[in-house]
Structure 1
Amino acid sequence: MAASPYATEDPQPPYLENTTTRGILQYKSASLSSSPVMPSLPSLHHTPTAHRFYTSLTSLLLPGQPTVPLHVDERMFITIGVGTLCKGGEEWCELIADRLVVTSMNNVSFRLPKKVSMQEAHFKSIEGVFTTDFPNKPPLFFDFTNASLHNGTIEESLEPTAIGTKAKKLEYNATVEIVLQSTAIVATQSHPMHIHGFNFFVVAQGFGNYNEQKVRSSYNLVDPQVRNTIAVPTGVWLMHCHMDLHLPVGLATAFVVENGPTPDSTLPPPPADFPQCSSLDVARSESIWNQDKSDGKDSYLR
């Protein structure tokens, strides 16, 4: 057995080490008449092979395990990618030097609160820390993964990004269908998305723009991948890109899950020694990466 790392595109230094790990598995019933053969591995950036591997994974059908819910209470279509903010706070700035490069979801660049945590603000009903108006869809639908958007007049009109601490409020035990759609604005990259506090089913993945009519028939509703670790709790839970570079500049949002009908589904009060947040200034980078063009690896995830 052999394995090597995978990266969607050539990164900036420091580069990912292109090494191969090897191991030999010997089954008790296997014949010892032949020597193991080292498999031939694809290149570090061979997307078709990586996609074929991780989309072929399924979950185990075990008694007592959660099954895919067929009734959906909330539907969200979330674009993820890169945009710009004006340094002076204006809605539009003509000079590139006056813009900050940020990341966003549905054109909202997430800003972490500075003095009070969202969880504390939610529990104590403190106003002014966050809002619950994170949009269910982007402000504009367009050809999201069109590589020709780069450095054109159309892209300039799509770059401006709002900033705020916006969350989505959900009822306890709600079933939410989320489509995550990458975009080609400013730069094209893949984004490993992570959500705190939840398990979720990955029922479809693909390239290009999400098309519900074409894709829905291919949903795996029998044994899809199940990602993350624990059940759905109450409280405030962050969803963000797992690339360290992207979270500080806004590629995140949060879900505020309301209390359920029982004591076990109700958020308990914080302990007496609950630490307080100190004043925190989150620096926002003026430049994130060189805007190299990728080879169309934008994708959707549902």
Structure 2
Amino acid sequence: MWMICCFLVHIVDQHILGGVTTRYYNFTVDYANVTRLNHTKSMMLVNSQFPGPPITAHEGDTIVVKVTSLVQPNITIHWHGVKQLQTGWYDGVPYVTQCPLKQGDSYTYRFQLLNQTGTLWYHAHTSWHRASIHGAIIIYPHKDRGYPFPTPNREVPIILGGWWNADVEDVIEAALATGGGYSIPDALTINGQPGFLYNYSSSDATRRRIRQGESYQLRVVNACLNFAMYFAVANHSLTVRELDSAYCVPFTVDVLLIAPGQTVDCILNANLSEGQFYMAASVFSLPDPLTVPFPQTPATAFLEYEGSSRIHPVYMPTFPAHNDSSYRDFWDSQERSLNTSDQTLYVPQTIDRELFFTVGYGLSSNSSCSPLPNCTAGFEGYRILGAVNNITFVTPSSSDTSLLQYAYRYDRGVSTSNSNFDLSFPDDPESTFNYTGPQPPLSTRFPEHATRLSHIDYNSNVQLVLQDTSILLFETHPFHLHGFSFYIVGRGYGNYDPATSPATFNLVNPPYRNTFGVNYGGWIAIRFQADNPGAWLFHCHIELHASWGMETVFFVHEGNASNQRLQSPPMDYPVC
């Protein structure tokens, strides 16, 4: 049973000052043995829990989490979707906002949950450690306010993930060594359990009893490393209320579609009299499965009405095909932001900075397995890379300080001569081609390796168009912007046309999210106001693609007023 009352045991202490609650947590990252699929392995976990303990708070609360690492690999914790207004030191991105924690180190993250309700989540932001280091952040409305919809009777947190019998570090190491693909998970999971359709899993699968006539808020997080997911409950519709912790115009569907990193809050009404039903999660993947393989067996959990006899059949939901692009289009068309007294839309109507980024793949011309035949999983003997504007991001080396420290000094007139602090990321691709046409010549597929930042003036209204490319193959890359949520004002297929495409934009109530997928073989246009100074990672949330360098960093300059500048670095800020 997973009940919200159980969450509070993870709070070490809380203090209330002037109506604002400060909630304190202790997180210890250590090894623990976990058994799934009749296989036991040692995993890195938070407080020995898989998934990790949830954080619960009200909008406006301050969260203080002391993280202590007892594991050998370097780690950080990222608070996914938390805007970190003036507190970029706590965003948790290695060498971008902090140096990572070494074994035995501690770091106390401090941030306030401002203008956000619903569900967010936290996860490790080093290598593939988020496969096991992750948990929910549950944010209730401010104590003086309620939901802009009827308050549900109960709630059910649901975290979608994956399980490898192997160590995930070995999985990504093998993928990088061979230049391309990786071993897919041995199972999909719901709240850490594969469920009833996998061998040796039924006895441990998640079960939930519900009462007729009650409403349940399902808080669904897609923590999968590399897959978008369908989620459904057999014989029940789901009414979506929030997307990435922002209220939306409600819409009702039978199946949710959630990209890696996204969250969806929806209402299930227990309107049947009895019965047993599966909650299930299955993969959504547009590319051919021979090119991008995935687990075929859904993860399941059990939903049972109180008083039902166990002799009743258990019903299974029906999912669209894994590559049903029409369902993706339908889902996207339903998303609209909701104006409420607590969430006022500000969709930039005029633009100060216009950016056009191509996103997709590339090939390495100088890696150890290129073009040697032992680069067995690559493309035509070359290692596969990710790229933004034909630039593969190079994470600064362990001998450097964080990019945020350089940005902080830069805005204060301190000399920053380090080669990693390069503010020359291009506003447009430095080489152009027919982005969605036939495969371009091989000579155009080798991206530059660099640490180049895009810098933006404080409070600028930014429009960014992300264009998928045909290099190797199309894919719906789900991009996540740290430090901000953004409005998805437009989407389309083919090449973006600056002369005609803006006529299709929704500038009234577009969806407001922190993670969103680029159209398969197409483009999306997003807008946001750059009112949060700092160094903010922008990356594909498919973990393999991030490992290949499909990311960049925005440096948003500080403003002149005190509330437009970064706080001073904390005393316990980690050193490299």
- TM-score interval for Structure 1 and Structure 2 normalised by the shorter chain: 0.7 to 0.9
1:133-179 CA deviation, whole Å, 9 max, x = no partner? Answer: 10011123322112x31xxxx43122021010111111111111000
Q: Comparing 247-256 with 14-23, which one deviates more in the overlay?
A: 14-23
Unaligned runs of 5+ in 2: 1-236, 238-253, 256-280, 305-314, 374-378, 411-415, 516-527
Instruction: Report matched runs for 1:167-246 at 5 Å.
Output: 167-228=453-514, 232-246=531-545
Provide closer, same or farther for how the CA distance between residues 248 and 38 of structure 1 changes in structure 2, counting only shifts above 3 A.
closer
Aligned positions, number: 259
1:191-219 CA deviation, whole Å, 9 max, x = no partner? Answer: 00000001211011122111233321110
Match of 1:294? none
Match of 1:272? 571
CA distance in 2, matches of 1:182, 1:213: 19
Q: Which amino acid aligns with 2:541?
A: H
SS in 1 for 2:364: strand
State yes or no: 1:131 paired with 2:414: no
1:36-82 CA deviation, whole Å, 9 max, x = no partner? Answer: x9986421211111221123210102245132111101000100011
Q: Comparing 188-197 with 4-13, which one deviates more in the overlay?
A: 4-13
1:77-131 CA deviation, whole Å, 9 max, x = no partner? Answer: 1000111222169xx9899777432110001100111132111122234322220
State yes or no: 1:86 paired with 2:365: yes
Instruction: Report matched runs for 1:1-302 at 5 Å.
Output: 1=237, 2-3=254-255, 5=282, 6-9=284-287, 10=289, 12-15=292-295, 17-18=297-298, 41-63=319-341, 65-87=344-366, 99-114=382-397, 115-125=400-410, 126-127=416-417, 128-146=419-437, 148-149=438-439, 154-228=440-514, 232-277=531-576
Provide closer, same or farther for how the CA distance between residues 100 and 110 of structure 1 changes in structure 2, counting only shifts above 3 A.
same
CA distance in 2, matches of 1:77, 1:44: 30
Q: 1:247, CA displacement in angstroms?
A: 0.8
Q: Comparing 234-243 with 114-123, which one deviates more in the overlay?
A: 114-123
CA distance in 1, matches of 2:327, 2:575: 47
Q: Which amino acid aligns with 1:167?
A: L
CA distance in 2, matches of 1:155, 1:17: 39
Unaligned runs of 5+ in 1: 25-36, 278-302
SS in 2 for 1:203: strand
CA distance in 2, matches of 1:21, 1:58: 30
CA distance in 1, matches of 2:432, 2:372: 23
CA distance in 2, matches of 1:76, 1:70: 16
Provide closer, same or farther for how the CA distance between residues 38 and 82 of structure 1 changes in structure 2, counting only shifts above 3 A.
closer
CA distance in 1, matches of 2:367, 2:295: 35
What percentage of residue pairs aligned between the two structures are identical?
29
Q: 1:237, CA displacement in angstroms?
A: 0.3
Provide closer, same or farther for how the CA distance between residues 142 and 112 of structure 1 changes in structure 2, counting only shifts above 3 A.
same
Q: CA RMSD in A?
A: 3.1
Does the CA contact (< 8 Å) of 2:359 and 2:388 recur in 1?
A: yes
Does the CA contact (< 8 Å) of 1:86 and 1:98 recur in 2?
A: no
